[in-house]
Amino acid sequence: MAGLALSMALPAIDRGWAQSASPTLGVQSPAQQPVQQQPQQIELPAAPVERENPGLINEIGKLFERSKTALPPLKSPGETFNDLTNIARPSTVVTGRAVCVVASNGAPDCKTGADRLCQSKGFKEGKGIDTDASEKCSPLVYLPGHKRGPNDCKTENFVTRAVCQ
């Protein structure tokens, strides 16, 4: 079988050599000279497309690129110093009793209560650190035979200790 394929291929190779070989020494007759064609535009190969390398180093590089946007920007030394002086500013713990206002959602807002408590002691603002709650009821609740209703009493919250600045 291999001999048959080889014997069929050899004549085709011989014909190809016979046709392409010319005995002249590079001199061609005017009839054989090729006709000048207009220059064709040469297409440059496209720029190689950068393939993504799915290796470990590439993944670590992606992680660093993403982390640049996730981290907060670095502060200047002056900004850092200002932040530290605000933290280290002396503060005082005061005691007293200031009512917490009720927020729109019904929860107590004790920040305003802490601010009021600190302002009553001569400070600008404060943060509550201890609170107390009590129930405030209408006087009717204490009458004998009065059946207590859902709106007869309400819970009031107070700030009792605050850190003031």
CB 77 within 8 A of CB 89: no
pLDDT at residue 24 is higher than 90: no
pLDDT of residue 73: 73
pLDDT band at 4 (very low <50, low <70, confident <90, very high): very low
Per-residue pLDDT of 141-151, as tens digits, reads: 888 988 888 88
Closest CA to 128 of 98, 87, 107: 98
According to DSSP, residue 144 is labeled T
Q: What is the mean pLDDT of the chain?
A: 75
> Would the pLDDT of 1 be above 60?
no
Give percent of the chain with pLDDT exceeding 90: 19
Are 66 and 97 a contacting pair, CB within 8 Å? no
79 has pLDDT over 50: yes
